[in-house]
Structure formats: structure tokens, C-alpha cells
Structure 1
Amino acid sequence: MSRLNVLPADEHSADVRSTLDQVGAQFGFVPNMFTMLASNPTVLDLVMTVQTKASRLLDARTRHTIALAVSEADGCDYCLALHTAGSLKGGMSVEDIELARAGSSVDPKRAAVARFAQRVIETRGRVSDADLAAVRGAGYTDPEILAIVTLVVRALLTNYLNNVNLTDVDIPAPDLA
């Protein structure tokens, strides 16, 4: 059960209702995470802005791989459900989703990014020279490494918000068979 109080829908400003309508159009419903975020319009706006800007970093499968690796490392059930569903919709295989959660991938370049993302979490950003060499060796440039770290932090933001709240998972369970 969620631990933070959520504002009733009729108490939201027109701007917040508009944002939630956009989220609803994207998902087919308004996920609990966004309802929770709407209780603080500035936080909702911040998360939406970060999500929008982050969608321009790297390719979608790499972004999903990072989100899955980070959410698994953080134990965020809500984000794991959300990113698993999104990854399937985005064309990732069940095997690749499971590997991403374990810090790997069927693709060697994405495997390196998944391992690096988990190392960023484990070391609180104090990765070793060997960690940097491994991700560079997989073909990532320094500007792309900045993007990877940014995507890790984006995932951490929603992981922490959902973990503090214990947001009720309302994402339909995808068929992983």
C-alpha cells in the first residue's frame, strides 16, 4: 500500500490535469507513479522534463537496458514493472530483459552499458578506471558515458520516489513466457 498521501484528482490544477491526461494517452491509463507525483506539481514537472529530455539520449533499447539494470539494483518493483512492459513494447526479447536486469544483454555493447550502470550504482558514481575502460572498450565515447550516467540518475530518481512511497504496482503484468 502506498505510504504517501495522494491528492484527489479534483484538487489538481488545470496544468497538472493536462499533464496527467497526456500520460494517460501514452499509457492508456494514468499509472499510480504519476498520480503520486501530481501531489507536488513541481516534482511532476521535473520528472516529466527529465523523462522528455532523457528520451533524446542514446537509443531506446539502451535506455531500457539501463533502466532495468538500475531498477533491479535498487529493488524498485514499480519501475521494474514499468520498464519491463516498455521494453517488451519496444521490441526487446524476454531474454534480453532478464539479462538487462542482471547487468548484461544479448548485445555485447548493451551488456557493457548494463554492467557500467550497475557499477555506477554500486560505487555511488566512484567507478574505477577499469570500469571506464570497459565501457569505452565497448565503443562508448565520453559524451555517451555522460549520457549513461544521466540515465542512471534518471532511473534512480523514479526508483527512490517509488521506493519511498511503496507505490502500488498497477502496470499490467506482461507475458514473459
Structure 2
Amino acid sequence: MSDHKIQVPTPEQVDAKAQTIFDQLKKQLGVVPNLYATIGYSSDTLENFLGFSGKAGKGSFTGKEIEAIKLAVSEANACQYCLAAHTALGKMAGFTENETLELRAGTIADARLQALTRLAGNIARNHGKADQELKDQFFAQGFDEKALIDLIATVTAVTFTNYVHGTTQVPIDFPRAKALEAVAA
């Protein structure tokens, strides 16, 4: 029985198309995050993912709301990599450390963010079968059908990275997110 461990590829281990995308990511972010580099084993998947993820939710949600969704879904999927990344990005978007934890737990005081994160987490936990009560709360906050589809797209985009990390377990290259249990205790 083999114990094949997935390594983060170097630029030399991926094709020219992935190398070009890595160069673009370096210009935009300053680094190529380990998870994106790992997705780069398939340059077509990396290109398609970045295009989809970069647009998912943009028509209905602010950047801050998109980070809230990604935190809630990453918590639902127990993805330590994405929790670390989106905690850092959430703070950059204006959330406090405590607010990132409340978004993950679905306890944020802001009713709009609460409806958004509870529904997002519910969609992830129930494999797309959302509870009617949470959908009703979402619509009661002024969101419409377009926003619902944009929410599902955002949930799908972050679920992909959650699954990539869950399967590969590549090293986390962001400061680790606090555990919810440690905060609740």
C-alpha cells in the first residue's frame, strides 16, 4: 500500500499555462498561495476556477459579504486552510477577529450577515438542500433570486478549495484561524 503525499508544485513542475497564471498571481497577491499552486497541477482547472471564483457573488454581494460567505462555508466544511486564508482576507475587508469567528458560528449580530452566513453554511452542510426557514430569512433581508443563485455560486467556489485542501492537505501558508471551541469555552 502506497502513502502518496501531494506536494505543492514548483513552477518547473507545472505546464507553461500554469506558470503564466502563477506569474499573474504573484503580481496580484505578492505570492502564489500553496492551494492555488496545487490546483496548478491542472492549468485548465486553475484558469477556470480563478475565472469562476473571481466573479462568483460579485453581482449581489460586497467583497466583505463574499468573505463572510466563504468563512461560513469553510467552517461548515472544516477546511483549516480556507479558514486561515479567509480569516486573513476577512480582516483585510474590515472584519475584526471576533467578527470572523461570529460569521463562522452564524452568530454575528448584523441580521443581513447572519442570514447570509447561516444560509451559506446550511447549503454546504446539506449538500445544496437548504432549509426553507433560512431561505425565508435570506429573502426577508432584501435578497432576491439573483442573490440566491450568486450565493450558491460562491458556496460552490469555496467548496472546491475546501475539497482540494481536504484531499491534498498541503501546508497552510496563512496564519492559522482560531478554533471556535476555544473561543466559546
Q: Same fold (TM over 0.5)?
A: yes
**Equivalent residue of 2:46, what SS?**
helix
Partner of 2:94: 91
Unaligned ranges ≥5, structure 2: 179-185
In the alignment, the residues of structure 2 paired with residue 67 and residue 46 of structure 1 have an alpha-carbon distance, to the nearest angstrom, of 18
Q: Is contact 2:18–2:42 with CA below 8 Å preserved after alignment?
A: no
**Equivalent residue of 2:170, what SS?**
coil
Using the TM superposition, give the Cα deviation of residue 119 of structure 1 relative to its aligned residue in structure 2, in angstroms. Answer: 1.3
What is the aligned-residue RMSD (CA, Å)? 2.0
Among residues 20, 45, 52, which one is paired with 1:43 in the alignment? 45
Among residues 25, 28, 34, which one is paired with 1:26 in the alignment? 28
Unaligned ranges ≥5, structure 1: none
Kindly indicate whether residue 165 of structure 2 is the aligned counterpart of residue 170 of structure 1.
no
Q: Is contact 2:75–2:121 with CA below 8 Å preserved after alignment?
A: no
Question: Residue type matched to 2:111 in 1?
Answer: P
Q: Is contact 2:80–2:176 with CA below 8 Å preserved after alignment?
A: no
In the alignment, the residues of structure 2 paired with residue 3 and residue 51 of structure 1 have an alpha-carbon distance, to the nearest angstrom, of 27
Q: Is contact 1:68–1:84 with CA below 8 Å preserved after alignment?
A: yes
In the alignment, the residues of structure 1 paired with residue 174 and residue 85 of structure 2 have an alpha-carbon distance, to the nearest angstrom, of 6
In the alignment, the residues of structure 2 paired with residue 168 and residue 8 of structure 1 have an alpha-carbon distance, to the nearest angstrom, of 14
**Number of equivalences:** 174
Using the TM superposition, give the Cα deviation of residue 11 of structure 1 relative to its aligned residue in structure 2, in angstroms. Answer: 3.7
Q: Within 5 Å, which residues of 2 pair with 1:5-154?
A: 5-54=7-56, 56-57=58-59, 58-154=61-157
Report runs of 4+ in structure 1 exceeding 6 Å deviation: none
Deviations for 1:56-105, whole angstroms, at most 9, x for unmatched residues? 24111110011000001111011011111111111112221111111232
In the alignment, the residues of structure 2 paired with residue 12 and residue 69 of structure 1 have an alpha-carbon distance, to the nearest angstrom, of 32
User: Structure 2 vs 1, CA of residues 6 and 116 (structure 1 numbering), >3 Å: closer, same or farther?
Assistant: same
In the alignment, the residues of structure 1 paired with residue 44 and residue 104 of structure 2 have an alpha-carbon distance, to the nearest angstrom, of 31
Using the TM superposition, give the Cα deviation of residue 16 of structure 1 relative to its aligned residue in structure 2, in angstroms. Answer: 1.5
Using the TM superposition, give the Cα deviation of residue 173 of structure 1 relative to its aligned residue in structure 2, in angstroms. Answer: 5.0
Identity of aligned residues (%): 25
| More moved, 69-78 vs 125-134 | 125-134
Using the TM superposition, give the Cα deviation of residue 153 of structure 1 relative to its aligned residue in structure 2, in angstroms. Answer: 0.9
Using the TM superposition, give the Cα deviation of residue 5 of structure 1 relative to its aligned residue in structure 2, in angstroms. Answer: 4.3
TM-score, length basis structure 1: 0.89
User: Structure 2 vs 1, CA of residues 120 and 18 (structure 1 numbering), >3 Å: closer, same or farther?
Assistant: same
In the alignment, the residues of structure 1 paired with residue 174 and residue 131 of structure 2 have an alpha-carbon distance, to the nearest angstrom, of 36
Q: Is contact 1:96–1:106 with CA below 8 Å preserved after alignment?
A: no
TM-score, length basis structure 2: 0.85
User: Structure 2 vs 1, CA of residues 139 and 3 (structure 1 numbering), >3 Å: closer, same or farther?
Assistant: farther
Question: Residue type matched to 1:169 in 2?
Answer: I
